Amino acid sequence: MKFKLPNPGLEDRILSYEQLDSLEEKEAGDRPKWDNKTQYMLTCVGFCVGLGNVWRFPYLCQSHGGGAFMIPFLILLVLEGIPLLHLEFAIGQRIRRGGLGVWSAIHPYLTGIGIASMCVSLTISLYYNTIIAWILWYFFNSFQDPLPWSQCPMNANSTGIVSECERSSPVDYFWYRETLNTTPNIEDDGGLQWWILLCHICAWSVLYICIIRGIETTGKAVYVTSTLPYVVLTIFLIRGLTLKGSLNGVKFLFTPDLAELAKPSTWLDAGAQVFYSFSLAFGGLISFSSYNSVHNNCEQDAVIISIINGFTSVYAATVIYTIIGFRATERFDNCLSGNILALLNMFELPEGYITDSNYDQVVQRLNETSPEIIQQLDLPTCNLRTFLSEGVEGTGLAFIVFTEAITKMPLSPLWSVLFFIMLFCLGLSSMFGNIEGVVVPLQDLKVFPKSWPKEAITGVTCMFCCLVGLIFLQGSGNYWLSLFDTYGGSIPLLVVAFCEMFSVVYIYGIDRFNDDIEFMIGHKPNFFWQATWRVISPLIMLVILVFYFITKVSEKILYKAWDPESDNFPTLEEKLYPSWIYVIIFILAGIPALAVPLVAVWKCVMTKKRDKYIDNIVDQIQINDEIKKMPA
């Protein structure tokens, strides 16, 4: 006997099989539909494949034992990613509502899950588009030769180069000063940066025109935004492999270090990466799936999209590391030739006396004969591994490391334009899913009047997000963004995903769900799906949630600031957040997560109140009837 919580009235809230079939035949209903299967697949792939595949996965791969990281990644992909994806697709296709409607149809008390995923989608939409604005800024600046981040600008009285740039590097300076104009700490807001404001408006305008009529316009846009990144990645792979030192990078990335598999943090990071990479629990995937025809094979779709997502992560990691290998080799060569020159000059030796191969022996010999001079020279040690393992992720990888590598390649403006177009497409296609996860629940909650056309709804949403997103355009915007990224998009999603699985399996009922899938695709889900949905995946989600929560709560809440006045400039300085930030963190992470139980309790109380009210009315009618029946 399978465990199932009582759920009266479920039949009345969802369409029966006959109704679904008749809906299908008559093509009735006002729900939008995909023009063809390709659009649906491209939209889902675009939503799943995002900036994280390019700048988070390669870093995790390299820092957790290279090729060995594939093992936990693939295992958790199969045990956690694919089942959750299939579940979301199937439930969306069956109940045919958006991310919020699905949960309120399964049980009104579960509306909180929908509200939580809407809040998370909203939080992420706010800051994700700012990253796209930064990408646009770099894209606009790529149409010049030499690229503006390849050299330092002159200072005010043209006596030399700007000191902040001289002490760090041209790419650092361009990112932190000319793009962000960042303040030394989060309390100084630094005012709005007008150039990024323009790019921000441009980013929201481009997004608006793509989602203006919902999937009618999104479906056309994804033909470009989902396919272009693969084209550009291939171009970069071919270019990268022809550069010197690229194979060093690829070898470094994939060299397995099996000792890392014993550490729990590796598995935790792999699980979290699989989860976030699939964009689960946002509500967007459920919504996209609900526009499909009822008998679409969602099982096949889930498997195909998971494979594509996994493959893209590995492919992008390879491409990124060919370029990083090139950059590290370049740095190593420069370091070595700088040292050699210093030695030649100091000891007045002829050129060609010291080469790359005999460098170490010569240094040793010189150290024996004249150690004080060597000491005085203070030669930096040149180690290729150190340069390769300058593991950078996130915005640092894209805007500092990669841009620097591009300046060293011939025809740099071309590579820069291609790279930033690729990042733009990756980000934009993910934004489609995020906005879907915000707009459709708002429609379900009837926030907008019914008479409003779709264009007005998407317009108001975009306008609102654009205005709130102005926080991230200040001087301290980068710090706010990483705050939102760390706390807004992590714990609530894990809570929502766990609740989703629990609700579908134990409140909707796994038996009913199996029957639904048999009705939709023709055969019952096999033992693998049963085992993962009922036990394995919820367990993994719970473990990841608990460990994530513990690590986040126990670690000191620090942020890395770019402070030209700090002692170890240009290294980023770690600073403590001010105490009022804890309130913001609670709002970001706590409120969506708490929305699930709170809304359930509130709905319960409202139902009891309404039942009591109805009881009172019924009693009143009864009394009236008895009075009428009594003889006068």
Partner 1 sequence: MEDVVPLLLLLLCVSSAAAQLCAPDASNGYKVRLSLLTALGDEAYVWNDSEMFLFRAAMAFAMRTADGQNYNVSNVLVCDETPRVSFWFVVTSPLNSSLLVERRQVEEAVRKSRNRINSAFLLTDNTLEFLGIPPTLVAPTPPSSPPWLIVFGVVMGAVGAGIVLVLGTSVMQSRREKKKAQTGFEEGEEESRAEGNGAASDSVYNLSFSDDDRLTQM
| Of 159 and 568, CB closest to partner 1 | 159
Calpha distance 599→111 (Å, rounded): 7
Residues 250-269 that bind partner 1 (CB under 8 A): none
Taking the complex as a whole, how short is the minimal distance between the CB of residue 209 and partner 1, in angstroms?
5
Residues 135-194 that bind partner 1 (CB under 8 A): 136-137, 139-141, 143-144, 151, 153-154, 158, 160-161
Stretch (H or E) spanning 559: strand 558-561
DSSP secondary structure string, 409-472?
STTHHHHHHHHHHHHHHHHHHHHHHHHHHHHHHHHHTT-S-TTS-HHHHHHHHHHHHHHHGGGG
Binding mask 20-59 for partner 1 (x = CB under 8 A): --x-------------------------------------
Stretch that binds partner 1, among 209-217, 261-269, 543-551, 556-564 (CB under 8 A): 209-217
Calpha distance 160→515 (Å, rounded): 75
Q: Is 213 in the site for partner 1 (CB under 8 A)?
A: yes
The residue type found at 594 is L
DSSP secondary structure string, 101-135?
HHHHHH-GGGHHHHHHHHHHHHHHHHHHHHHHHHH
**Of positions 19, 358, 367, 376, contacts partner 1 by CB under 8 A:** 19
Assess contact for 92 and 520: CB atoms under 8 A: no
Stretch (H or E) spanning 96: none
Residues ≥6 apart with Cβ < 8 Å to 532: 79, 80, 82, 83
Tokens linked to 112: 């909180």
Give how many residues touch partner 1 by CB under 8 A: 47
Calpha distance 399→171 (Å, rounded): 8
**Of positions 38, 610, 616, 624, contacts partner 1 by CB under 8 A:** 610
Assess contact for 501 and 540: CB atoms under 8 A: no
Calpha distance 78→309 (Å, rounded): 12
| Of 276 and 419, CB closest to partner 1 | 419
Question: What residues are paired with 432 via a beta bridge?
Answer: none
Cite the annotated binding site for Na(+) by residue number: 46, 49, 53, 277, 309, 426, 430
| Of 23 and 78, CB closest to partner 1 | 23
End-to-end CA distance of the chain: 59
| Of 349 and 414, CB closest to partner 1 | 349
Q: Is 13 in the site for partner 1 (CB under 8 A)?
A: yes
Cite the annotated binding site by residue number: 46, 49, 53, 277, 309, 426, 430
Q: Is 542 in the site for partner 1 (CB under 8 A)?
A: no
Taking the complex as a whole, how short is the minimal distance between the CB of residue 199 and partner 1, in angstroms?
7
**Of positions 238, 259, 341, 535, contacts partner 1 by CB under 8 A:** 341
Q: Is 508 in the site for partner 1 (CB under 8 A)?
A: no
Radius of gyration of the chain, Cα coordinates, nearest whole angstrom: 29
Taking the complex as a whole, how short is the minimal distance between the CB of residue 210 and partner 1, in angstroms?
10
* Block residue for tokens 């670690």: 555
Q: Is 9 in the site for partner 1 (CB under 8 A)?
A: yes
- Burial tier of 502 (Cβ tally within 10 Å: 0-12, 13-18, 19+): middle
Q: Is 594 in the site for partner 1 (CB under 8 A)?
A: no
**Of positions 191, 338, 371, 453, contacts partner 1 by CB under 8 A:** 453
Q: Is 275 in the site for partner 1 (CB under 8 A)?
A: no
Q: Is 386 in the site for partner 1 (CB under 8 A)?
A: no
Stretch (H or E) spanning 574: strand 573-576
CA torsion 603-609-611-612 (nearest 10°) is: 160
The residues binding partner 1 (CB under 8 A) are: 9, 12-13, 15, 19, 22, 108, 136-137, 139-141, 143-144, 151, 153-154, 158, 160-161, 195, 198-199, 201-202, 205-206, 208-209, 212-213, 217, 341, 344-345, 348-352, 453, 455, 610-611, 614, 618, 622
